């Protein structure tokens, strides 16, 4: 029942992902959520985010920010990292993910999605056929509608973690 919400992987942080290994595995494009995935909600790109995108470009990745936020917020972050971006994406609609792949020149098979929310980020990427990496939120301060969704996410994560234990 919950499988359509399960991430491919669940990691502590986007900054702990072995992007070099994934590149060697054939991935060429990465779609990122911004808020609470890369920086706290509403924050500009910090030194860690700038260094991450510089390293990803050096490896040969194409990157795209995919956000449900309005353009001023997304542009503020992107001004520091200089990648493709889509604002007001309407996640979990598949069209935003498809547009991101189009901008990057990648396919479902060689694109990753990294985000912190199950019901928008992961669900949408799963529907688009993209490998997903769910990260823990960077900061506990969130908008009320997200706080409410986090309670439901705990249920999905409980069953996700249980399904992983059964595979062992």
Question: According to the model, what pLDDT value does residue 140 have?
Answer: 67
Residue 167 pLDDT exceeds 80 = no
Question: According to the model, what pLDDT value does residue 164 have?
Answer: 85
Which position has the higher pLDDT, 39 or 155? 39
Residue 168 pLDDT exceeds 70 = no
Q: State the DSSP string of 37-50.
A: TTBSTTPPP-HHHH
Integer Cα distance of 114 and 121 in angstroms: 8
Question: According to the model, what pLDDT value does residue 155 have?
Answer: 85
Q: Cα dihedral sign for 76, 80, 82, 85?
A: negative
Tell me how many degrees the CA angle 92-28-115 measures, rounded to the nearest 5. Answer: 30
Question: According to the model, what pLDDT value does residue 144 have?
Answer: 63
pLDDT digits (tens, 9 = 90+) for 116-155: 999 999 999 999 999 999 999 987 666 666 777 777 888 8
Which position has the higher pLDDT, 146 or 59? 59
């Amino acid at each position: 029942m919950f499988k359509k919400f399960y991430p491919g992987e669940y990691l502590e942080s986007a900054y702990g992902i072995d992007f070099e290994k994934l590149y060697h595995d054939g991935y060429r494009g990465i779609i990122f959520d911004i808020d609470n995935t890369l920086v706290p909600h509403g924050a500009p790109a910090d030194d860690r985010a700038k260094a991450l995108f510089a390293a990803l470009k050096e490896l040969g990745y194409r990157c795209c920010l995919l956000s449900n936020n309005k353009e001023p917020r997304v542009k503020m972050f992107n001004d520091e990292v200089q990648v493709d971006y889509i604002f007001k994406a309407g996640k979990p609609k598949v069209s935003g993910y498809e547009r991101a792949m189009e901008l990057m020149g990648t396919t479902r098979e060689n694109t990753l999605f990294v985000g912190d929310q199950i019901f928008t980020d992961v669900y949408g990427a799963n529907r688009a056929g993209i490998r997903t990496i769910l990260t823990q939120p960077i900061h506990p301060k969130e908008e009320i509608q997200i706080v409410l969704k986090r309670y439901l996410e705990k249920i999905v994560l409980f069953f996700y973690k249980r399904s992983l234990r059964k595979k062992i």
